Amino acid sequence: MAGTTESLARFAPELVLSATILAILIVDLIARLQPKRPSLLSGVALVGLSAMAGALWLTPTGDTSLFTHLLAFDGLARYFKGFFILAAALGVLFGHLSDEISRSRLGEYYIQLLCLTLGLSLLASAQNLLMLYLALELVSLPSYVLSGFRWWDRRASEAALKYVVFGGAASGVMLYGFSLIYGITGTLQIDGVAAALTAAATGGQGIAGQLGLLMAVMLSLAGFGYKVAAVPFHMWCPDVYEGAPTTFVAFLSVAPKAAGFAALIRFFVVGFGQPAPGAAGFPWAEILGIIAIGTMTLGNVVAVTQDNVKRLLAYSSIAQAGYLIMALAVGTDEAIRAVMLYLGFYLLMNMGAFFGVQLAGGERLSAFRGMASRNATLAITMAIFLFSLTGIPPFAGFIGKFYLFAAVLSVGEPFFYALAIIGVLNSAISLYYYAKVVRVMFLDKAEEGDGVVEVSRPASALLLALAGPTLLFGVWWAPLADLIDKASSILR
Amino acid sequence: MELQTFNTLWLIPLFPLLGAAYAGLLGKRIHRRYGELAVSLPTVIMPWISFAVAVSAVVTLAQAGPEVALYNRLWTWIGVDWMQADMAFLVDRLSAVMILVVTFVGSLIHVYSLGYMKGDPGYWRFFAYLNLFMFSMLVLVLGDNFLLMFVGWEGVGLCSYLLISYYYRERDKAAAGMKAFIVNRVGDFGFTLGVFLLFWGLAAANSPSYNPSIQATTAAPVVKRASAKPDPAKLAEHVAFQASWGLAGAPCRSHQALGRASTLGGHAQGHHVEGHATTSLAFRHVERLLEDPVKREGLLSQNVLGLSLVTLVGLLLFLGATGKSAQIPLYVWLPDAMAGPTPVSALIHAATMVTAGVYMLSRLHFLMALTPVAMTVVATVGALTAFFAATIGLFQYDIKKVLAYSTVSQLGFMFVAVGSGAFWVAIFHLMTHAFFKACLFLGSGSVIMGCHHEQDMRLMGGLRKLMPVTAITYFISSAAIAGFPLFSGFFSKDEILWKAFDTGNVILPGGGFVLWLLAAVAALMTSFYMFRSYYMTFSGEYRGGHAHEAHGHDEAHGAHGHLPRESPKTMTIVLGILAALALAGGYVGLPHLWHLPNLFEHWLAPVFEGSAHTLKWAGYGHGLEWGLMITSILIAFAGFFAARWLYRDHRNPTPQKILDSDRRLVRGVHRWVFNKYYVDELYQKTVIQPTLVLSRALSIFDTGFIDAIVNLVGLIGRLFSMLQGWIDRTFIDGLVNLVGDTVMNAGRALRRVQTGRLQAYVYSLVAGSLLMVVAAWLMAA
Amino acid sequence: MIIGLNHFQVVSALLFGLGLLTIITRRNAVAVLMGVELVLNAGLVNLVAISRYQTGGLDGQIFALFGVVLAAAEAVVALAIVLQLFRARRSVDTIDVTDMRG
C-alpha cells in the first residue's frame, strides 16, 4: 500500500484531468465572446488529455493500492485509463466536428464528457465498494445530462428520462446489494470480501446464508449489468442510444461499457471469482454464461429486424457485450486478456461506426442508400467498421473474437463448448444485419434527392484514422496483444 | 535451434484454404448471382492476408536472432510409441524466404488472374484450385516434419494436375494433366521410399546393439559395422528400446502443456530449447540426432544392396525431387503442363511448386552433405538438365514451350548449386528465378491474350509498339535470366557457376570444372533463346492477324484480325512489380568479390550451419573468381548479340537458311533437337506402351486407359457439380430460408418486449434480478 | 422491545420493495423519481444499521453520508430532466413517453 504522497504521485493522471475540467470551465467563461472559442476549448481539452496520457506514462509502474486501499493501481487500471483517454480524445474530436452540439454549448459538453471520463478512470480502479458506487454515479450523472443535451428534441428528453430512472433504479438496487455484502462479510474492500467468503465457505455456511449471499451478488450485478447493457438490464440501451446525440452515443457505447467490464472483472475475479469457476460452490460461471447467452442472442436477433441504423447499432452493442460476458464467465487470465484486447478493437470499430452514422446525416437505413456513390470514404470506412464488428477476417474484430472464443474453448467443459457454439451461431446471425447496411450502401442505387453527403476533410481523416488500425490490427495485432500481456496484472 | 512459439503461423495456410472452400463450395452459385468479382475478390484477398501474416512472422523472426525459429504446434498428429509427428508449423530462415516468395508472387499472380481469366466459364473453379494450391504449397514449406511436408507435396501435385487439365474438355489438355500426375507418382515413390529408408536407418543407428561406443566397452573397437538387413528380433529390440526411452509420449505432453499456457500475444513469452526425440519425424530432430558423431557413424556405416544407405536415401530423395522439379529423367511432364492457363504456368510451373525439390533437398542439407555420391549425382544431373533443356529451348516456336524448357534448365542450375553444396545459392536462385520467370510467363500470357490465344512466335512480332509495358517487362526479365550484369539473375547465376567451379563435394574427374562448363554453355544458350523469343515476339512487324484459327476455349477476348492491344491494368501492374523485382531482387546477395555485404547468405547461414563443416571447397583464388565473373558476363552478352543479330526485326535470313539447308547433318541435328530428342517417343515405346499393353491384357476395359481416365475425370466433375447443385437447392437454400425466417420471427417477437414504457423496463430489471437469484440458488443447491 | 439490527433490516427491505413498487406503478415522472430515492435510501439504512450493530467502525456510516449527497445530486439532475421533458411535451406522464420502442 502506498502512503498519501506516493498515492498522489500515482493519482497524477486524474489530477491533471480535474485541472483540465476546471481550465475548460474558466476558458469557457473568459472566452465567451471570442469567435475562436470552439477551437480554443477543443484545444484545451485535447492538451489536457495529452497531459493526462503523459502523466499516466510517467507514473511509476509497480502495482500498489492508493489512498488506504480505495483505489487499485495495477495493470488492469492503467490499461483502462489509457483506453479512456483515447476514447475521451475521440469524443472531444467528434464533438468538435459534429453539428449536433451547438458551438455555444461546446464547453459545457466537454466539461460533462471529461467529468464522465474521470468517473470512468475511478471506476476501473475502484477497490472498495464505496469507491465503486461513487465512481459509478460519477459516470452516470454526466451520462444522463449528455443524453438529454439537445433538450428541445422530444426523443432526447425521453431518452434522458428513461436513462435517469432506469439508471437510478439500477444503482439503487446495486447499493442494496452492496449493503447486503457488507452485512455478510463485514467489509467494504473487494479483496476483503474474498477473504471473508473463503472463511465462510470453509466454516460451512447453511443454505440460508448462501441465499443471502446470492441475493447480495445478484442485486449488485444489476448495477454492472446496467452499465454494460446486459440482458435483462439492457432495456434502457436502445432507447437512449436512439434518442441521445449520436456524437455522444459513440462515446457512451464504448467507454462506460469498457469501464463496466473493468469493474466487473475486479468485482467478480478479485472478490468472488478466483479460484473460478464455481468458487465456494456458487455457480457464478454458469450465471454469467446464461446472461451472456441471453445478451448476445437478444441483441443479435432483435437487431435483425431494425431499419434504424442507430438503433441497430444499439442492439449490436448489446450483442457485443454478450460475447465479452461469455469470456468473463470463464474468468481465467487468458479470458481477461481476451476481453481487454477485444475492448481495444471495439473502441475503434464501434466509435467509428457511430461516427459514420452521425456523418451520414440520417439514421434510417434509407439514408445510406447508394452511399458508395455519394461519399466513397464514408461508405468504405463504414463497411470496414461493420465487417469488423461482425468478426470476419481480415479485420480486427475477427482477431478479438478469435481470442474470446479461444479462451472459452480452452476451459474444455461441455457448458463452455455449448457457450462457444451459441456465440458462433450468433456471429453468423450478426452478419445478416451488418451486411444489410453494407448492401444498402454498395448495391442499392441512390435515388432522387439522395445528394452527395458532404463530409469535412478532418472528419474524413478521422474516419480513416479509425478504419486504418481496424484493418491493421486484423493482420498485425501483436503489439496490442503484447501490451496487454504485459499490462494485465490485477491487484488481488 | 531455439524455438519461439508464434501462435498464428497456422493462419498463413488457413486463409487460402478458406478462400478455396469459399470459391469451391459456394463459388458457382455466387458467380451466377453476383458475378465474377464476388467470387474472385475474396479469393484474391486471402493470399494477401497470408502474405501480411507471413511478413509479421518474418519480422518477428528477424528480430529474434539467428538461432531462433518460430514454431506453432497445433496438435499431435501421430503419437504412437515408436513414431511421432505433430501438426506443427515451423518458420526458420529458410522457410521464411519460401513463404515470402510463395505468398508474394502467389498474391500477385492472383491479381493478374483477375484480368486474365475474365469471362472464363469456370472462373470459380480456377480460383478455388489456385487458393488450394497456395494452401498446399504453404503447408509444404511450413511443415516441421516429413509427414506434413509430404501432405503439402501431394497437395501441390494434385492442384497442379487439376490446373493443367483445367480445360478438361480438350482431350490433349486432360492428357497433359494425366501425364504430369503419373510422372510425379514415380518421383513421389522415390521420395517416400527414401524417407522410409532414412527412418529405418535412423532406428538402427539409434539401437544400442549398433552403437559402437557401447560395443567398444565390451569388445574390440568396431567402428564400421555393415548390416544388410535387420532381422525381426533386432527390429523388435529397437521398438522396445525406444518405448523404454519413453520418447514418444513425454515431449507430446509437455508440448500440450505449453500450448495451454500460451497466451494472447502473437508470440508467447516462453522460449524453450528442444531436446531431441529420436522417433520424431521432425526435420530438426533428425538434424539434432545426426549431430551426434556416434549416431552419424551408426547411420553412415549401414549398407543396403551394396550401396551405402545414406547414399541410397539421398538418391531416392533426389528421385522425388526430379519428379516435382522436372529434372532428367522425369522432366517430360513440365513442357506439357503448359496446357494449363498461363497464370498457373507462372505460379505453379515456374515460381513455386517446381522448386519444391530444391527446397526439400536444401531442407535436408545435413543429410545430403553426408553423401558425396548423391551430391555428385545431383550436381551432374542438374548440369545435364540445364544443358539439355537449354538446347531444346533453342528451337521452339511456342512461346510458352520456350519458357517451359527454360524453367527446366534453370531448375537444373539450382540443382547444380545444391549438388555443389552451396545450398543458400540454390535458394537465392530459386528466389530470383521466381521473380523473373513469373514475370516472363505472365508476360507471355499477356502476349497470348493480346494475340487472341496464339502461342506461335512466328505469328507474332512487332508487339513492342502495341504492348509496350509487356515488352519492357519481358525484356527486363530476359536480361535478368540471361545474367546481364546488375540484374538479379546475374548475381544468383554467377554465384552458382562460381560455386560449381569451386566445389570440393563432387567426385567427378576434373571436379567442378565439368559442372561449370556444362552450366556455362547452358547459360550462353539461355541468353540466346530468351532474346530470340524476345525479338521474335516484340520486334519487327506484326505477322499474325490473318485468318488464323484461335483456340476454342475462349473467344470472348476480342474479334480476330484486330491488332493486339495492351492488357488490362491488373495485369500490367503485376508485370511491372515483378519486373522491378527481377531487376533489383538480386541485390540482397551481392558477390563477396565486391566487398559488399551478402545479406542473403548471412540470413541463411544459421540454417545451413549444421552441414557447413562437412562441405569442402577447392578454394580457388579471387583472381579466378573475377575471371569467371567476366566470362559469364561475356556469355550473357554473346547470347544477346547473337540473338539480336539473327532475329531482330525478322530481317536476317540466316535462321531460315539453316532450316532450309540440305546438309544431312544440319537437318538431322535440327530435327532431333526440335523433336526434343524423341524422349517422349522413347518413353512411349519403353514405358507407356508396355504399360498399356499390360493394362489391356489385364483390364476388362478395352476402351483405352487414358480414355477411361479422362472420362472418369469428366464424370466425377459432372457428378460433383450435380451433387453440389442439389445441395445448393435443397440444403443451402432451404436452410438459409428456414434459419432466416426463424431469426426474423424471433426478432419481431422480441421487439415487442421493448414496449417503450419506462415502467416495463424497470420491471424487467427487478424481475430479472429476482429470477437470477432464484436460478442461482437452485443451481447452487 | 429493544430495537436491533433485524428491525432495521426489515425496515430497509420494506423501503426497498416499496421504492421499486413506486417506480413500477406510478405514472407521474416525479413520483417515479421519489421511488428511486426510496430504493437508494433502503440501501443506506442497511449500511448504517450494519455498521452500528454488526461490524463496528464507521465504514457503513460514511458510505451513507456519501450516499445522501449523491442522492441529492442525482435528484437535481433527474428533476432538471423532468423539467425539460415537461417543456418539450407539456406532460410528465410516463405513459406518454413512448416515442421510442421496439
Size of interface B-C (CB pairs under 8 A): 31
- The pair phi, psi for residue B269, each rounded to 5°, is -80, -25
A159 interface with C at CB cutoff 8 Å: yes
Output A155-158 pairs: Cβ under 8 A, ≥24 positions apart: A155/A242, A155/A243, A155/C99, A155/C100, A156/A243, A156/A244, A156/A245, A157/A243, A157/C81, A157/C84, A157/C85, A157/C88, A157/C89, A158/A239, A158/A243, A158/C85, A158/C97, A158/C98, A158/C99, A158/C100
Banded pLDDT at A208 (limits 50, 70, 90): low
Size of interface A-B (CB pairs under 8 A): 132
User: Are the Cβ atoms of C24 and B756 closer than 8 angstroms?
Assistant: no
Higher pLDDT, B66 or B705: B66
Could you tell me if residue A446 is inside a domain? yes
User: Are the Cβ atoms of B49 and A393 closer than 8 angstroms?
Assistant: yes
| SS3 per-residue string spanning B500-566 | HHHECCCCCCCCHHHHHHHHHHHHHHHHHHHHHHHHHHHCCCCCCCCCCCCCCCCCCCCCCCCCCCC
Distance of alpha carbon B445 from its chain centroid, rounded?
Answer: 20
CA distance B250 to chain A (A): 21
Q: At what angle do helices B293-300 and B171-206 cross, to 10 degrees?
A: 120
**Containing structural domain, residue A457:** 274-492
Q: Which of C35, C78, C89 sits opposite A154 (nearest CB)?
A: C89
User: Which other chains touch chain C, taking contact as 3+ CB pairs less than 8 Å apart?
Assistant: A, B
**In the predicted model, what is the mean pLDDT of residues B634-642?**
90
% pLDDT > 90, chain B: 25
User: Are the Cβ atoms of C98 and B754 closer than 8 angstroms?
Assistant: no
User: Are the Cβ atoms of C24 and B762 closer than 8 angstroms?
Assistant: yes
**In the predicted model, what is the mean pLDDT of residues C39-59?**
90
Whether the pLDDT of residue A36 is over 90: the answer is: no
Could you tell me if residue A68 is inside a domain? no
The pLDDT of residue A135: 96
Highest mean pLDDT among A196-200, B276-280, B399-403: B399-403
Whether the pLDDT of residue B245 is over 70: the answer is: no
Could you tell me if residue A431 is inside a domain? yes
Q: Which residues contact B700 (CB under 8 A, 6 or more apart)?
A: none
Could you tell me if residue A79 is inside a domain? no
- The pair phi, psi for residue B224, each rounded to 5°, is -95, 125
**In the predicted model, what is the mean pLDDT of residues A56-77?**
88
| SS3 per-residue string spanning B687-718 | HHHHHHHHHHHHCCCCCCHHHHHHHHHHHHHH
Higher pLDDT, B233 or C42: C42
Banded pLDDT at B81 (limits 50, 70, 90): low
Distance set, CA B700 to CA B182, B546, B708 (Å): 21, 48, 11
Whether the pLDDT of residue B215 is over 50: the answer is: no
Distance CA B714, CA B695 (A): 21
User: Are the Cβ atoms of B758 and C97 closer than 8 angstroms?
Assistant: yes
Banded pLDDT at B7 (limits 50, 70, 90): confident
User: Are the Cβ atoms of C36 and A172 closer than 8 angstroms?
Assistant: yes
The pLDDT of residue B781: 66
Could you tell me if residue A33 is inside a domain? no
Grid cell in block for residue B637: 552478352
Burial of B656 (0-12, 13-18, 19+ CB in 10 A): exposed
Size of interface A-C (CB pairs under 8 A): 137
User: Which other chains touch chain A, taking contact as 3+ CB pairs less than 8 Å apart?
Assistant: B, C
Q: Are B427 and B604 in contact (CB under 8 A)?
A: yes
Whether the pLDDT of residue B466 is over 90: the answer is: no
Whether the pLDDT of residue B253 is over 50: the answer is: no
B49 interface with A at CB cutoff 8 Å: yes
B754 contacts in chain C (CB < 8 Å): 101-102
**ipTM for the complex?**
0.95
User: Are the Cβ atoms of B49 and A475 closer than 8 angstroms?
Assistant: yes
Banded pLDDT at B710 (limits 50, 70, 90): low
A312 interface with C at CB cutoff 8 Å: no
The DSSP line for B57-107 is: HHHHHHHH-TTEEEEEEEEEEE--TT-BEEEEEEE-HHHHHHHHHHHHHHH
**In the predicted model, what is the mean pLDDT of residues B658-663?**
75
Distance CA A124, CA A74 (A): 10
For C22, nearest residue in chain B (alpha carbons): B759
Three-class secondary structure of residue C102 per DSSP: coil
The pLDDT of residue B697: 60
Whether the pLDDT of residue B652 is over 80: the answer is: no
B755 contacts in chain C (CB < 8 Å): 98, 101
The pLDDT of residue A126: 93
Whether the pLDDT of residue B607 is over 70: the answer is: yes
Banded pLDDT at B480 (limits 50, 70, 90): very high
Q: Which of B754, B759, B766 sits opposite C102 (nearest CB)?
A: B754
Indicate the average pLDDT of chain B. Answer: 80
CA distance B760 to chain C (A): 7
Indicate the average pLDDT of chain A. Answer: 89
C31 interface with B at CB cutoff 8 Å: no
Interface-testing mutation among B750, B755, B766, with chain C (most C C-beta atoms within 10 A)? B766
C25 interface with B at CB cutoff 8 Å: yes
For A174, nearest residue in chain C (alpha carbons): C43
HSE (CB half, 13 Å, CA atoms) of B348?
Answer: 34
CA distance B770 to chain C (A): 12
C88 interface with B at CB cutoff 8 Å: no
Q: Write down all domains in chain C, each with its CATH number in brackets.
A: 5-98 (1.10.287.3510)
The pLDDT of residue B350: 85
Q: Which of A165, A217, A482 sits opposite B265 (nearest CB)?
A: A482
Distance CA B319, CA B325 (A): 10
For C101, nearest residue in chain B (alpha carbons): B756
Distance CA B205, CA B224 (A): 12
B263 contacts in chain A (CB < 8 Å): 333-334, 337, 485
C47 contacts in chain A (CB < 8 Å): 178-179, 182
Whether the pLDDT of residue A342 is over 70: the answer is: yes
Could you tell me if residue A134 is inside a domain? no
Banded pLDDT at B554 (limits 50, 70, 90): very low
**In the predicted model, what is the mean pLDDT of residues A400-410?**
90
C94 interface with B at CB cutoff 8 Å: yes
Q: Chain B: which residues have CB within 8 Å of chain C?
A: 751-752, 754-759, 762-763, 766
Per the DSSP assignment, residues forming a β-bridge with B272 are B3
Higher pLDDT, B681 or B774: B774
A307 interface with C at CB cutoff 8 Å: no
Could you tell me if residue A178 is inside a domain? no
The pLDDT tens digits of the residues spanning B450-459 come to 888 888 888 8
User: Are the Cβ atoms of B779 and A211 closer than 8 angstroms?
Assistant: no
CA distance B773 to chain A (A): 6
- What's the pTM? 0.60
A158 contacts in chain C (CB < 8 Å): 85, 97-100
Per the DSSP assignment, residues forming a β-bridge with B398 are B456
B74 interface with A at CB cutoff 8 Å: no
Banded pLDDT at C94 (limits 50, 70, 90): confident
Could you tell me if residue A337 is inside a domain? yes
Interface-testing mutation among B748, B755, B758, with chain C (most C C-beta atoms within 10 A)? B758
Per the DSSP assignment, residues forming a β-bridge with A391 are none
C99 contacts in chain B (CB < 8 Å): 756
Whether the pLDDT of residue B265 is over 70: the answer is: no
Q: Are A275 and A179 in contact (CB under 8 A)?
A: no
Q: Are B281 and B84 in contact (CB under 8 A)?
A: yes
The pLDDT of residue A281: 59
Number of compact structural domains in chain A: 1
Those of residues 760-779 in B touching chain A at CB distance below 8 A are 760-762, 764-769, 771-773, 775-777, 779
User: Are the Cβ atoms of A169 and B265 closer than 8 angstroms?
Assistant: no
Higher pLDDT, B232 or B717: B717
**In the predicted model, what is the mean pLDDT of residues A140-163?**
92
Distance CA B504, CA B515 (A): 12
CA distance A301 to chain B (A): 5
- The pair phi, psi for residue B365, each rounded to 5°, is -55, -35
Banded pLDDT at B233 (limits 50, 70, 90): very low
Name the residue type at position A361: G
Whether the pLDDT of residue A17 is over 50: the answer is: yes
